[in-house]
Structure formats: structure tokens, C-alpha cells
Amino acid sequence: MARSTAFPSPEEARFGDVTEPITLRVVLAAIAGGTLGLAAMLPFVVGIPVALGVFQLAPLADIGTLIAGDGGPLVGAAVFAAGGAFVLPLFFVVTGSFLPPRNPRYLRGVTMSTLFWVTFLLLFWPGGSAFTNAVFVVATLLGHWVYGLVLGVTTHYLTGIPEHDV
């Protein structure tokens, strides 16, 4: 079966170099990857915990209260979504070229998301039974890996991830 030529393969994707500026196209590609990645990770960080009865709204409510005083979990969820759709993709645009592995470059999104998963653990730790904690650790790690993979592949396909010598 012939492959569509609409997008280059990951091996054929165009790569910027150190002299190219971060353009609106690169930013939009990363935001698209972050938005798609966020949607792809939701079954892991929300769906599985809800299905097993271990999902907690308190951490989202805490973020909502921190941001808006009396914001509640809805504001916390909006902040979480904005971070995943905009802030982390922009962070990836700036730092992606410096992250391992050297190849395939799209796995750098997984590296970045693993680093942010550690922070996620600290902010959202459920503090329940061993079962609750185990589900939380495994489901959220898988969710973050899916997020990073989707972010990396999308950015890689649309604009490429540049390689810088350090």
C-alpha cells in the first residue's frame, strides 16, 4: 500500500538548525502536538483512575484556589489543560533539541514528559492505599509517555526537531 505524501516520514522530516529562529509555524506545530497529546493522555490520568474509583478532585481544587482564590476544580482543570496545550509545548520547542535520545528525535517528547511526570507526582499524589498509589504511579507515567510521544511525533512530522551541538 502506498504511503500518502501529505506528511514526510519521521526519517524524512525537515529539521531546522541552530541559526533558524523559532517561528510561528514551529510554535503552532508544538501547540497542536500538546493539544493532541493532552487528549491522548486523558484516558490514563483520568479514565483509569475514575474507573477504579481512585480519582480525586482535591488537587485540581487546590490549583484552582491557588490561581483564582475560590476557583475550585474546574479552574484547576483549565490550568492543567492550558499547561499541557500551551506551556509544555513551548518548553519543548525551546529545550527539545538538547534532550536525549539523539535518535529518534521524536522520543525527546517522552524524555521531557517523564521529567514533568515527577512534578505531577508531587502535586497530585493521592496518598491513599497501596493500590491507589500503584494505580496512580503506573497510569500517570503511561499517560505522560503517551503525551510526550504524541507531542514529539507531531512536532517532528510538522516542523522537525532541530539538533544543536552543545
Res. 161: pLDDT tops 70: yes
Cα–Cα distances in angstroms (integers) from residue 163 to residues 8, 21, 48, 145, in the given order: 18, 13, 36, 22
Give the pLDDT confidence of 63-97 residue by residue, as tens digits: 778 777 777 888 888 888 999 999 999 999 989 88
Res. 118: pLDDT tops 80: yes
Res. 13: pLDDT tops 60: no
Res. 112: pLDDT tops 90: yes
Q: What per-residue confidence (pLDDT) applies to 166?
A: 45
What residue ranges do the domains of the chain occupy?
24-158
Q: Quote the mean pLDDT of the chain.
A: 84
